[in-house]
Structure 1
Amino acid sequence: MKQLLILMGLMLLLPLNVQAQRVKDVATIQGVRSNQLVGYGLVVGLPGTGEQSPFTEQSFRAMLSNFGIALPSNVKPKIKNVAAVAVHAELPPFIKPGQTIDITVSSIGEAGSLRGGTLLQTFLKGVDGNVYAIAQGSLVVSGFGAEGADGSRIVSNTPTVGRIANGAIVERSVPSGLMTNDYLTLNLNYPDFGTAKNLAETINRRLGADPSKGYVIATPIDAASVRVSAPRDVGQRVGFLATLQDFEFTPEEAPARVVINSRTGTIVIGKEVRLLPAAITHGGLTVTIAENQTVSQPNAFAQGETQTTTQSIVDVNLDDTRMFKFEPGVTLDQLVRAVNEVGAAPGDLMAILEALREAGALQGQLIII
């Protein structure tokens, strides 16, 4: 009930009108994006928390052979301080060779912990198979684990995952097509035809275009994209983008939507959600049955036998159910207030919302995650 009251209070604090927002807050530039990198490597220096697996042994032999050391085939190295790991990172747009990026290191075998380990030189590749960065360094692991001789174990956080700040040096940059065309494209974070139209009109008005005379700078392509003519000169385009991203305009209001997180019981209700005429009742009948075993003992001179009897206690509890009726156009904050008055929990409101959707009385999308 407390959670419902909090959510209802947050809804009442929402502004009645959509506020103006900057272009950079609601749209991204097509072609300006990150790229995922991944690699396979070895972490050494572990205090006995490594692993002894076939692929770890194979990787260890390959590493030694790169240094000119060849182990006999019948020799099995003891490498409890070595772990095979996967290394991944995000390559930001426009980053140049020589700059550094953060990396995440995760164990892919049976290593107990990566705490205290050092990642050896690892090549990070993109989806095209090319090497874009080289990673190496000492890991920072937030989790820890301890195990007793009897098999008991305690683990806090995740000791098999670590990070290295600035742990990879970029060796290759990703070419961008941002400067090769006479135009650029703005992609809305939340597609909406009205928002795309408003964005194009704002850009044309602020840059002095006159669509009535055939002079257009920005053109909406669809609900998600707006094409903008831009100068070809690199220096001018950078300044043009810096100015364009600071333009403020008013997006269209979001569609009527109710989002329910079934795992946490959190319910978020948009202010445009309305209810069709509906009558709602919510409650339950609880029946509790308890059985008590009693012993019947005859007196000393009676010729009877001791008997065991069962005494059943039946308790029926009928919740205080109330029916409330809503007229057309009632908002969901009024529904929340009504549910709070009858003492329902967040789970009860979820059930009511699902029932309203099935009955066709909910004007808006109901999304359950």
Structure 2
Amino acid sequence: MLRVILLLLSGLAALGSAPALALSRVKDLASVEGVRPNQLVGYGIVVGLNGTGDTLNNSPFTKQSLQAMLERLGINTRGATMRTANLAAVVVTASLPPFAVQGTRIDVTVSSLGDAKSLQGGTLLVTPLLGADGEVYALAQGSLAIAGFQAEGDAAKITRGVPTNGRIANGAMIEREVEFKLNQQRFLRLSLRNPDFTTSKRIASAINDFMGADTAEPTDPSTVTLQVPPRYHGNMVRLLTEVEQLRVEPDQTARVVIDERSGIIVMGRDVRISTVAVAQGNLTVTITEQPQVSQPAPLSNGETVVVPRTALKVDTGDKNKLALVKEGVTLRELVDGLNALGIGPRDLISILQAIKAAGALQADINVM
């Protein structure tokens, strides 16, 4: 009986110490090929600016656009001198969501193209938004909302944010749909956001276990091909809803990401290190200037002068000893061991690169 109790306690301790699996939904790991947004772009004019628009002499495209617009409205301005500063040429961008139907409204972003100072208070005139195929998919128009502002006087100027960029909520109406007959598909392709052989195999296995048949197959690290079962023909929404909720433990390559500009270091959980000895020392030179005033003797013809006094201190960092990092340590132990050396992020970056150069870091290093 005592032996059985000890075995049960050891089993519970092993379960308690086992790491929890980080399961993720297939919906968060992959996307369905063909179900994606499309980028739209257009060229337009913003009017109603309070003298903060483009300078027509410096922005000839703005002048040409103004003349063309007035001619379409029946006003001839060819050869006339125009000095208005209340309009600006802009580029309008938007994202067309998948399965968007005619009449649906989407947000647009408006960015100045010329030398306008601010788009505050402007109104975008009707602007066609084109896709990559050159077809018009939406029309944009409306009043801009600007997050930044600019104020200036005779001798000072202040600018917060970007006053030459703004948004129009629900500012474009979709006029053309992107045809994609999802219900008529017999094969679906799931595209992994982070390509990996192990993750694609696990997704395919989870789908096959749920369907009860070999309907999914990983074709490459970033694609899983799914054959639609007969019972789901004509009802792809039900199939995708059930597949997206399946949970899989994603795998990843051991990687260390370093941003040298900000000193940020990100390490994955699978980062391992071989036995290596690390020592870190800095040469610090401290220079202190303490000038002193020298007074002449009483009743003398001397002058009061400032005598420079410089104190130099050199610290070679010899107190930092050689530290041993054991083989097969976990990420937590690796971070604790490196922090125990009393070094900052900048020096830690150099140490990780040196360990990698020595062949002791079992991970890829990506420097941003």
Structure-2-length-normalised TM-score: 0.86
Q: Which stretch shows the higher mean deviation, 262-271 or 349-358?
A: 262-271
* 2:90 is aligned with 1:91: no
The 4+ residue runs of structure 1 with deviation greater than 4 A are 231-234, 289-302, 304-312
Q: Which stretch shows the higher mean deviation, 51-60 or 134-143?
A: 51-60
Matching of residues 294-309 of structure 1 within 5 Å? none
Kindly state the Cα deviation for residue 137 of structure 1 after the two structures are TM-superposed.
Answer: 0.2
Q: 2:324 is aligned with what amino acid?
A: K
* 2:74 is aligned with 1:68: yes
Q: 2:262 is aligned with what amino acid?
A: T
Give secondary structure in 2 for the equivalent of 1:175. coil
Change (3 A) 1:137 1:296: closer
Give secondary structure in 2 for the equivalent of 1:109. coil
Task: Name 2:24's counterpart in structure 1.
Answer: 21
Q: Which stretch shows the higher mean deviation, 343-352 or 84-93?
A: 343-352
Structure 2 distance, partners of 1:309, 1:250, is 71
Deviations 1:6-41 (Å, cap 9, x if unpaired)?
Answer: xxxxxxxxx924333221111100111111000000
Coordinate RMSD, CA, aligned: 2.6
Matching of residues 177-256 of structure 1 within 5 Å? 178-209=182-213, 216-230=214-228, 235-251=234-250, 253-256=251-254
Q: 1:56 aligns with which of 49, 53, 62?
A: 62
Q: 2:235 is aligned with what amino acid?
A: Q
Task: Name 1:100's counterpart in structure 2.
Answer: 105
Structure 1 distance, partners of 2:46, 2:61, is 13
Q: 2:193 is aligned with what amino acid?
A: N
Deviations 1:147-205 (Å, cap 9, x if unpaired)?
Answer: 2223x311001111000011000010112254444211111111111221121122112
Change (3 A) 1:123 1:149: same
Is the Cα–Cα contact under 8 Å of residues 289 and 308 in structure 2 kept in the other structure?
Answer: yes
Task: Name 1:159's counterpart in structure 2.
Answer: 163
Kindly state the Cα deviation for residue 90 of structure 1 after the two structures are TM-superposed.
Answer: 0.3
Structure 1 distance, partners of 2:355, 2:290, is 44
Structure 2 distance, partners of 1:186, 1:306, is 84
Is the Cα–Cα contact under 8 Å of residues 31 and 177 in structure 1 kept in the other structure?
Answer: no
Deviations 1:181-231 (Å, cap 9, x if unpaired)?
Answer: 42111111111112211211221121121xxxxxx3111111111111116
Q: How many residues align?
A: 346
Is the Cα–Cα contact under 8 Å of residues 32 and 191 in structure 2 kept in the other structure?
Answer: yes
Is the Cα–Cα contact under 8 Å of residues 231 and 237 in structure 1 kept in the other structure?
Answer: no
Task: Name 2:39's counterpart in structure 1.
Answer: 36
Task: Name 1:132's counterpart in structure 2.
Answer: 137
**Higher RCO, 1 or 2 (CA under 8 Å, sep at least 6)?**
1
Task: Name 1:5's counterpart in structure 2.
Answer: none
Structure 2 distance, partners of 1:114, 1:298, is 68
Change (3 A) 1:128 1:55: same
* 2:256 is aligned with 1:258: yes
Structure-1-length-normalised TM-score: 0.86
Structure 2 distance, partners of 1:206, 1:307, is 91
Kindly state the Cα deviation for residue 311 of structure 1 after the two structures are TM-superposed.
Answer: 5.6
Structure 1 distance, partners of 2:259, 2:63, is 45
Structure 2 residues not aligned, in runs of 5+: 1-17
Task: Name 1:274's counterpart in structure 2.
Answer: 272
Give secondary structure in 1 for the equivalent of 2:195. coil
Task: Name 2:353's counterpart in structure 1.
Answer: 354
Task: Name 1:213's counterpart in structure 2.
Answer: none
Give secondary structure in 2 for the equivalent of 1:119. strand
Is the Cα–Cα contact under 8 Å of residues 126 and 139 in structure 2 kept in the other structure?
Answer: yes
Q: 2:161 is aligned with what amino acid?
A: N
Give secondary structure in 1 for the equivalent of 2:235. helix
Give secondary structure in 2 for the equivalent of 1:322. coil
Change (3 A) 1:365 1:177: farther
Structure 1 distance, partners of 2:308, 2:182, is 84
* 2:46 is aligned with 1:46: no
Q: 2:336 is aligned with what amino acid?
A: R
Kindly state the Cα deviation for residue 124 of structure 1 after the two structures are TM-superposed.
Answer: 0.4
Kindly state the Cα deviation for residue 361 of structure 1 after the two structures are TM-superposed.
Answer: 1.2
Task: Name 1:335's counterpart in structure 2.
Answer: 334
Structure 1 distance, partners of 2:308, 2:206, is 81
Give secondary structure in 2 for the equivalent of 1:330. coil
Kindly state the Cα deviation for residue 336 of structure 1 after the two structures are TM-superposed.
Answer: 2.3
Deviations 1:222-277 (Å, cap 9, x if unpaired)?
Answer: 111111111687742222222222222333x3221111222322211222111111
Matching of residues 285-296 of structure 1 within 5 Å? 285-289=283-287
Identity value in percent:
46
Is the Cα–Cα contact under 8 Å of residues 119 and 146 in structure 2 kept in the other structure?
Answer: yes
